[in-house]
């Protein structure tokens, strides 16, 4: 059999990606450390990041990615092979439900208002308190407001109605808010928006896995099918980014989840399956195939532990989204925030 040299190259690249990708989280961290330290990967190509897209996959437990493997979640695997990631990030400590964790992602705060948190401890459409600020009892800023104040556009695409809390709380900071239950449609809207507008920060929430988990169980075929479908939606967005140099060269992508789940729920904040989530950083200047814990000795891989906010070395948290996004954009931290407040979570 004769292979054209380009085919051989493609095969070698595929093998290299397979080696760099994830399997067991701890072993992949080990493998990827070596890769991320090589000079060629240090000299990461790409201009300055001027745009960030944060994608939260509702109810995506980290083990679903390893369980489905590269065949079932090719996009997530590609992002991990080409970016910096961990499958052992943490949610907020207090609660493993949607609205409190997403509020943490956009404010960089813990939940408990009595300890400087954002105070959003409910997970429904209630209108009292009407805003995050009223829940906290004081002003609470967000990544939306900071980016908007830097004269960069922002957008929020959500697939649950309770996200209207964010629009009420940061009505000036969020330039465009769209809610659609239909995840496919919402992802397409986000794609179009990325092309039509030059926004500094875009947040996309996809509910598919959580919807299926509640209906059929977190380990059901329906749940795994929803994770696969979400990976395909993410794949179309990544292809859009790759197909447009102005996105490819200037947009960083963050992917995480609000919580995992087991059985038909996810509200037990003491359970590993609920509080362990993935966290992926991908884009220009991001180390290829790196483990976030290997890149960040100031942070500690918590193993199977549930962590506290008092730990000297914090885990990577989904609540790092706000300040990591701002750091990527060259903007300072969200005032009053806690997670990655020093903006010392490195991506290369």
Query: Which one of the spans 10-18, 46-54, 207-215, 243-251 is the region binding Zn ion (CB under 5 A)?
Result: 207-215
Q: Which is nearer to Zn ion, 92 or 210 (CB)?
A: 210
Residue 258 binds to Zn ion (criterion: CB under 5 A)? no
Q: Which is nearer to Zn ion, 78 or 205 (CB)?
A: 205
User: Residue 59 and residue 210: Cα distance in Å, rounded?
Assistant: 4
Residue 210 binds to Zn ion (criterion: CB under 5 A)? yes
Q: Which is nearer to Zn ion, 60 or 329 (CB)?
A: 60
Least Å from the CB of residue 267 to Zn ion? 8
CB 34 within 8 A of CB 237: no
Q: Which is nearer to Zn ion, 210 or 346 (CB)?
A: 210
Query: Which one of the spans 24-32, 136-144, 209-217, 285-293 is the region binding Zn ion (CB under 5 A)?
Result: 209-217
Residue with the two structure tokens 């092309």 = 195
Share of the chain residues as helix, strand and coil, in percent rounded to the nearest 5: 45, 15, 40
Least Å from the CB of residue 210 to Zn ion? 4
Least Å from the CB of residue 181 to Zn ion? 14
Least Å from the CB of residue 98 to Zn ion? 6
Least Å from the CB of residue 232 to Zn ion? 21
Residue with the two structure tokens 């904040």 = 269
* Residue with the CB atom nearest Zn ion in the bound state: 210
Least Å from the CB of residue 59 to Zn ion? 6
- Residue numbers 46-75 binding Zn ion by CB under 5 A: none
How many of the chain's residues bind Zn ion (CB under 5 A)?
1
Q: Which is nearer to Zn ion, 175 or 210 (CB)?
A: 210
Query: Which one of the spans 159-167, 185-193, 204-212, 322-330 is the region binding Zn ion (CB under 5 A)?
Result: 204-212
**What are the distances in angstroms from CA 39 to CA 12, 44, 248, 264?**
20, 9, 22, 46
Least Å from the CB of residue 105 to Zn ion? 15
Which residues are 90's β-sheet partners? 276, 317
- Cβ burial, residue 327 (10 Å; 0-12/13-18/19+): buried
Residue with the two structure tokens 């070698």 = 12
Q: Convert 263-278 to b/e letters by CB count within 10 Å (16 or more is b).
A: eebbebbebbbbbbbb
Residue 346 binds to Zn ion (criterion: CB under 5 A)? no
Strands (E), the chain: 51-57, 84-90, 154-158, 176-179, 201-206, 251-256, 276-282, 290-291
Residue with the two structure tokens 């992602």 = 105
> What does the block give as tokens for 124?
């429904």
- Residue numbers 84-143 binding Zn ion by CB under 5 A: none
Least Å from the CB of residue 5 to Zn ion? 50
Q: Which residue in 116, 100, 23, 148 sits closest to 336, CA to CA? A: 116
Q: Which is nearer to Zn ion, 259 or 317 (CB)?
A: 259
Query: Which one of the spans 3-11, 14-22, 157-165, 210-218 is the region binding Zn ion (CB under 5 A)?
Result: 210-218
Q: Which is nearer to Zn ion, 32 or 98 (CB)?
A: 98
CA end-to-end distance (rounded Å), the chain = 41
Residue 211 binds to Zn ion (criterion: CB under 5 A)? no
CB 48 within 8 A of CB 250: yes
Query: Which one of the spans 19-27, 173-181, 202-210, 333-341 is the region binding Zn ion (CB under 5 A)?
Result: 202-210
Strands (E), 43-198: 51-57, 84-90, 154-158, 176-179
Least Å from the CB of residue 28 to Zn ion? 27
**Secondary element (H or E) of residue 213:** helix 208-216
Q: Which residue in 338, 341, 284, 339 sits closest to 52, CA to CA? A: 284
Neighbour tally for 100: CB within 10 Å? 26
Q: Which is nearer to Zn ion, 210 or 338 (CB)?
A: 210
Q: Which is nearer to Zn ion, 113 or 257 (CB)?
A: 257
> What does the block give as tokens for 256?
């995480």
Given the rule CB under 5 A, which residues bind Zn ion? 210
């Amino acid at each position: 059999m004769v292979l054209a040299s380009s085919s051989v190259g493609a095969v070698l690249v595929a093998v290299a990606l397979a080696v760099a990708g994830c399997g067991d989280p701890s072993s992949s961290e080990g493998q990827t450390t070596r890769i991320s330290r090589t000079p060629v990967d240090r000299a990461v190509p790409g201009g300055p990041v001027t745009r960030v897209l944060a994608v939260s996959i509702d109810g995506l437990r980290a083990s679903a990615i390893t369980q489905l493997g590269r065949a079932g979640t090719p996009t997530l695997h590609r992002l991990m092979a080409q970016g910096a990631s961990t499958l052992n990030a943490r949610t907020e400590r207090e609660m493993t439900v949607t609205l409190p964790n997403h509020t943490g992602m956009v404010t960089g705060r813990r939940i408990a208002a009595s300890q400087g948190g954002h105070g959003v401890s409910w997970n429904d459409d209630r209108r009292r308190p009407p805003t995050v600020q009223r829940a906290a009892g004081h002003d609470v800023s967000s990544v939306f407001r900071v980016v908007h104040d830097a004269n960069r556009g922002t957008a929020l695409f959500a697939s649950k109605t309770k996200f209207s809390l964010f629009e009420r709380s940061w009505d000036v900071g969020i330039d465009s808010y769209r809610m659609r239950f239909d995840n496919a449609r919402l992802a397409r809207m986000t794609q179009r928006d990325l092309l039509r507008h030059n926004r500094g920060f875009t947040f996309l929430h996809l509910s598919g896995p959580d919807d299926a988990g509640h209906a059929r169980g977190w380990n059901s075929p329906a749940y795994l099918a929803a994770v696969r479908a979400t990976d395909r939606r993410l794949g179309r967005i990544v292809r859009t980014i790759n197909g447009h140099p102005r996105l490819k060269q200037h947009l960083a992508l963050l992917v995480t989840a609000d919580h995992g789940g087991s059985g038909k729920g996810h509200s037990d904040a003491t359970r590993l399956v609920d509080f362990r989530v993935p966290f992926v950083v991908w884009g220009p200047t991001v180390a290829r195939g790196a483990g976030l814990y290997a890149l960040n000795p100031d942070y500690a891989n918590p193993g199977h532990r549930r962590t506290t906010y008092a730990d000297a070395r914090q885990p990577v948290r989904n609540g790092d989204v706000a300040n990591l996004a701002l750091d990527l954009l060259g903007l300072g931290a969200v005032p009053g925030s806690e997670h990655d407040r020093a903006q010392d979570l490195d991506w290369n």
